[in-house]
Every structure is written in C-alpha cells, then in structure tokens.
Amino acid sequence: MPTTIRDISKETGLSLATISKYLNGGNVLPENREKIAMAVEKLHYEVNEIARSLVTKKTRTIGVVVYSVECAFNGSFIHYVNNILSEKGYGLLICDSSNDEKKEAANIKFLLNKKVDGMIVTPVSNNTEFLKPAKTAEVPVVLVDRALKSSEFDCVKIDNRTTAMDAVNLLIKNNHQKIAIICSAKEYTGIERYKGYRDAMSQAGLSVPASYQKKGIHAMEYGYESMKQLLKLKDRPTAVFMTNYELTLGAVMAVNESSEVNCPEHISMLGFDDLILAHVIQPRMYMVVQPVKEMGEKAVEQVLRRIAGNDDVSCEINMNAHLKRGNSIKMLA
Amino acid sequence: MPTTIRDISKETGLSLATISKYLNGGNVLPENREKIAMAVEKLHYEVNEIARSLVTKKTRTIGVVVYSVECAFNGSFIHYVNNILSEKGYGLLICDSSNDEKKEAANIKFLLNKKVDGMIVTPVSNNTEFLKPAKTAEVPVVLVDRALKSSEFDCVKIDNRTTAMDAVNLLIKNNHQKIAIICSAKEYTGIERYKGYRDAMSQAGLSVPASYQKKGIHAMEYGYESMKQLLKLKDRPTAVFMTNYELTLGAVMAVNESSEVNCPEHISMLGFDDLILAHVIQPRMYMVVQPVKEMGEKAVEQVLRRIAGNDDVSCEINMNAHLKRGNSIKMLA
DNA sequence: GTACAAAGGCGAAACGTTTCGCTTAAAAAT
DNA sequence: ATTTTTAAGCGAAACGTTTCGCCTTTGTAC
C-alpha cells in the first residue's frame, strides 16, 4: 500500500487539513513544516493525483486530438506542444482521428471522460458539430491549423488564402503562366489555399484549365498520382503549387522518378511546410513555411488562459507563414 | 453539475450498488435494466473515470516515454501503439525525454503520479536505474528498441548485432572492402549495431581504419557531418553503412550536396528504417527495415498481459528486421 | 490591559465511484 | 411441502485528497 496523507498525519500528529495545506503551499509553522517534510521523506509519500483530481476537478492534463499523427505537421506540432506543456507540469493525452469524423467525435468524448482540463484540436473537416459535448461540458477547446474562422471556438492559424496568393504570385513573377495546383479539397485549409491560388491566377489574368487543378485528399499518394498525371499532359504546366507537406512529398517523388522531366529545368515546384524531409530532397525546395512552433505556443497559451478562467471573447490568432527560398523554381524568360 | 450515479439512483429508485452493477455488466433484472438505461439517457449520465479510478486503482491509461518524438522511429511507433490502444479503450499519455536521462527519470515519476496502468519505454541509454520507481510501484514496463537483453524488464527488439552483420555482409558480397560506418555510440542499439559491423568485417578478413568509424550521436546533423568527412578522405570508402534513420538522412543530404560524388556510382549506401522519407529520396535506398508496427503490437500485447496480472517470467521478444532492396549499392567488379 | 486582527490548526464533509457482506425473493431440487 | 441454491438488490464503507467553517493562540495597536 502506498503511503497516504493519513500516514503523514499519524507520523506527525498533525491533522489532514494541515498536511494538505502544506502540500498546496499554505501557511504552516516552520516547525511543523519541517516535521512534515521529514515524514514525507521517511515514508516516501507521493500525492495521489487521482484523489486530488476527484475533488479539485482538475487533472492537469490536456487532450490533443489531431486529424492524423502520420501527417508530419501534426507530429511536429505535438512535439512542440508537449515540450511546453510538460514544462508546466501538464500531461498530454493524445488521440488520432485518422481523418475520420466518427473517430474524431469519439476522441472528444473519450477525452471528456478522462476529464482533461482543455483540448487542442486539429480537426478533420470544417464541421464542428463534434465539439458540442466539449461545449456543454465547458471544457475549453482551441482549434489549430484547419481552424474555422466562423467558429465559436478559439483558433490559431495562418491566413491560408493570402499565403497561397503570395506563393502563386511568386511563380507569376518568375514569368510562369501555366501553373497547376495539387491540393486537398476536403477540409478548410485545403479549400482556402485553393481559393488563394484561384484568386492570384485570375488577378493576373491567367486562366486555369480543369486539368491543372488537382483537388483531392491530403495524402502523399494523391500528390504522387496527381503529379504523374500533370507530367503526362500534352500541354504540361511549367510550375506546380502543392498545398501541404504530404502532397509536396508525393509530387517530388513523381518528378524524381521521371527520367525525362527535371526540376527546376522542365518544371518548377513550390511546396508547403519545411519539415525534416525537405532538408534531404534534391533540389532544395522553395517552400511556404508555417510557424509550427509558434502555433503550438499560442495554442497552449490560449488553452491555459481559458483554463485559468479568463473569459475574454472568443479569439482568433493569426500567424504569418513565410516563403523559404530554394532552387526548385526556374525564372522563365 | 454533471449528473452522477446518485441522480440515476434517485430517478430509478434503485440503490447505488445496483446502478454500479449495471454499469459494469453485472446481473440486473431486465425490467430494472431498462429503467436505468432510460434514466441514463434522460439525464445524460456519463461515468466519472476519475472517481472510478480512485477506487479501482486502474486508470486505463498507458504511459509512453520515448527518447525523442522527433526521431521518426518513435513517431511511427507511437502511431501504431496509439491505434491499438485506442481501440481497446486505453488512453495514451506521451512523454518525450529529449535524449536526456534526467528528463527521462522525471517522466517516469510523472507517469507514476498520473497512475498509469503500465508503460512502454524507448530508453535514452542502457542505464535502467531510472525505472526503479516503476518497479517499486509495481507498474509494468515494457522496453522497446533500445532495450537491454540483460535487464529485468520485458522487452521487444530486433537482434541488432546479427541484423547489422547481415547488412554489412551484403556490402561485402557486392565486393566492397572499404566499408565505413556511421553510428551512434551512446546507447545500446547503436553499440550493438556497431559490433555487428565490426564482426562482419573481421570475419571477412577486412580491417577498418579509425577514420572509417564514425561513432557519435543519434542525429541527422551527425550523419551529415560524418558523411562529409568520409567523402573528403584521400582513401575514400566505397560503401557506408548508417545505423539509424536520422543518420541515414543526414548522410544522404551530404551526398546529395556533393557535385563530384554520386550514389551509387562513386559511393554505395546502406541505410536503416524505411520510414516515409525514404520513399522520396533519390536514389532509392537499400535499407534495413525494422517491423515497427509489429513491435508496437507486441509491446502493447505484453504490457496488457502484465496489467492483467499475468506473471510469467520476464520475457524478451525478438523480432526480425529485413533488407529492403534499392539501388543505392553498386556491385563492384 | 483591552480589543482586535491575523496566523495556524482542526474536524468533518465532500468528490463519485466500487465493493463487501448481508438480506430477500424466486427458482430448483428433494 | 421443505430445503437448498441462485439471482438480485441493498446499505455502508472505502478510495485519498481538498475545503469549509470554526476555534485557539499569538501578536499588535491603542
């Protein structure tokens, strides 16, 4: 049997209330303070967080649910969130939705049952219905990445549309006109980035044939297949914009496999998210880089603020992405 | 206030004990069963896992502590472990040791405080002192990957030495004689793989100059720097064996950056762990592949067995790695 | 020296479950 | 018809904390 606060009480002759006060930093006579410390030492006492949680209704645990841990953005994101949170003595309960809305809803319920103090979520889709139980349980939620502006939840994200416009404009400035896009069309982020592409193109007076618009799912395989198809077109694009990390990887694979087409000689590429992989591939990719670390920091900050009871209005934190230079884009004449 | 078992009791006129029995699948009259179900529905009752844990002393949560979430092996491993565990209704509390033994020890204590039912650990070093608290708390631990054979804990791993020997022998069979190694020398896995290399070389009657043995840390940067140095040698090796994923990536980077040296033309490479990155790099790498998924399955299986109270003798599960063909190795004349 | 405030301590109740031992009613066996 | 077994239900205690309201002691100001 592990020692309890009661054993400490017996050992010191002090009451439970006093021991508890000591443990929580209350006022205790130096003399008694000493006594308790010795007893704790002697009996190897450790507070039982479960019992504590039962009465305080705080678990010092944050739930993190991501659309897929396999997507590198989430892996990286979890890494940073974990770092900050563990420093503050918080635990991290991680759930993977595997891009499945049903699973996502189940994850929320699961975490609610586990009584997490708050949640950080990168959602599967832009349907936030699944968050209702958290709302009614009054557990704060911060949405990240695929976060909806219109939602009633806090969120931290980049301005996907503008960011994508800037990216495409870079290609246009390099005199590209036949610009294709490979994006995911199932969730907010992908859709917004697509809109940015569309707007940039029309602003520049450039039209885009349907065959240049690959709108699919967020997966390396889709990036690979799409790029293969683009390369086969009679009227091949001179540049391709990939709107997330996995799509970028797939596209690079496809180009690498081709013996005829070379990057940037025959095709220019602009990718998304400068995660570890990007350092190893040739040529060095031109990339849109999201500030993953900072996004993690902001998300943690915000969820902790809510937990502390700070009831300011629902807030939307916008971060800036930036372009990282590479040599995957060719300046056309 | 969320509804409790007491509310259900009031609503149905049945005792707490009966409600509890119902919740845990005991014998309850169909009639009462119905009544309770209706009350649960009506009052939106959800069991409070915290209170339950306090009395059952089970949290249905497994702690996973990895030497670094940034290392891809761990990311992949966590993914699989999470999948299985969530299916069984278990939560996953994840801790990152950042390759720091102090942090690792703190993580164990943290998880013990959180009262996890068991732990799965990929340790920082081969010093298992830090696991003592888990031992005394009688919380089962399964070591993975960098697991010590000699330890008093369950473990699942590959036979690192033999696997490395096989790998090096492949190079030898391709008539390579000047074979270098880039490995980490701080932990069990790296040391064992190095030994396999050394043994294979001496069995073949090949000697290895010190300059061919890069023994450092488990980091992409180290792989990069080491390969750079190897390429600069007057008597350059014809083949290099990298003993983990991050080292492999770094080495590939270095070769890719070189304008003179080409793989496999001028240098052959044999890497470790076929994680996502490996699909994107050129040339397609010859790889030693660990069965990450199966290792996760076995680890979960074993920790759950222990939790169930199965006190068979300490067990060591050995898995087989295999070689994945690529075109990064040149057959010498 | 009186009044008052502040500090330190205490007992008991509460948090929301499970479980133990007991009782009763119904069913089965004799 | 009587006994035995089984099923179903109940009350109360337990899990290990925190917290509330109250009491005592000590110190301080006038």
Statement: residue B279 has pLDDT above 90: no
User: Region B196-210: what's the mean pLDDT?
Assistant: 96
Delimit the CATH 3.40.50.2300 region(s) of chain A: 59-157+292-319, 160-290
Q: What is the mean pLDDT of chain A?
A: 91
- Asked if B315 reaches chain A (Cβ–Cβ under 8 Å), the answer is no
CB A112 within 8 A of CB A137: yes
**Across chain B, what does the average pLDDT equal?**
91
Positions on chain C within 7 A of a protein C-beta: 7-21
A96 contact residues in B (CB cutoff 8 A): 79, 82-83, 86
Residue B260 CB burial class (10 angstroms; 0-12, 13-18, ≥19): exposed
Domain boundaries for CATH 1.10.260.40 within chain A: 5-47
Q: What are phi and psi of A45, to 5 degrees?
A: -75, 140
- Within 8 A of B252 by CB-CB distance, chain A residues are 280
Query: With 90 as the cut, is the pLDDT of residue B26 above it?
Result: no
Residue intervals of chain B classified under CATH 3.40.50.2300 are 57-158+292-320, 160-290
The answer to whether the CB of A162 falls within 8 A of the CB of A319 is no
pLDDT of amino acid B70:
79
Model confidence pLDDT, tens digit, residues B98-154? 889 999 999 999 999 899 999 999 999 888 889 999 998 889 999 998 877 666 889
Interface contact A69-B75, CB threshold 8 A: yes
Of residues B98, B253, B279, nearest to A279 (C-beta): B253
Amino acid letter at A241?
Answer: F
Is the separation of the CB atoms in B91 and B60 below 8 Å?
Answer: yes
Residue of chain B whose alpha carbon sits nearest to that of A253:
B280
Please give the Cα distance from B237 to B230 (Å, whole number): 7
Is the CB of A50 less than 7 A from some atom of nucleic acid strand C?
A: no
User: What is the arithmetic mean of pLDDT over B36-41?
Assistant: 92
pLDDT at A314: 72
Predicted pLDDT at B146? 82
Identify the closest residue of chain A to B277 by CA–CA distance.
Answer: A277
Contact between chains at A253 and B279 (C-beta distance less than 8 A): yes
pLDDT 10s digits, A59-81:
999 999 999 887 888 988 999 99
Instruction: Say yes or no: Cβ of A259 under 7 A from any atom of strand C.
Output: no
Distance CA B289, CA B286 (A): 9
The string of pLDDT tens digits covering residues A115-124 is 999 999 999 9
| Position B310 pLDDT exceeds 80 | no
- B96 contacts A79? CB cut-off 8 A: yes
CATH homologous superfamily for A160-290?
Response regulator (3.40.50.2300)
Q: Model confidence at A90, in pLDDT bands (50, 70, 90)?
A: very high
pLDDT tops 70 at residue A297: yes
Angle made by CA atoms B46, B52, B54, in degrees to the nearest 5:
145
pLDDT of residue A44: 93
DSSP character at residue A100: -
CATH code that applies to domain A59-157+292-319: 3.40.50.2300
Residue at the smallest CA–C1' distance to nucleotide C10: A15
Residues forming a β-bridge with B157: B318
Report the CATH number of the B5-47 domain. 1.10.260.40
Partner-chain contact A51 B46, CB within 8 Å:
no
Q: Sheet containing B286-289: which strands, arranged edge to edge?
A: B213-216, B179-184, B239-242, B268-272, B286-289, B322-324
Specify the pLDDT at position B128: 85
User: Measured on CA atoms in the order A88, A93, A99, A102, is the torsion positive or negative?
Assistant: negative
Residue A314 contacts strand C, CB under 7 A: no
| Mean per-residue pLDDT, A135-140 | 90
Domain B57-158+292-320: top CATH class: alpha beta
Residue of B nearest to A74 (CA): B75
Q: Which of A223, A257, A256 is nearest to A240 (CA)?
A: A223
Query: What is the Cβ-side half-sphere exposure of residue A184, based on CA atoms within 13 angstroms?
Result: 24
> What is the predicted pLDDT for the residue at A308?
86
Residues 6 or more apart whose Cβ sits within 8 Å of residue B38? none
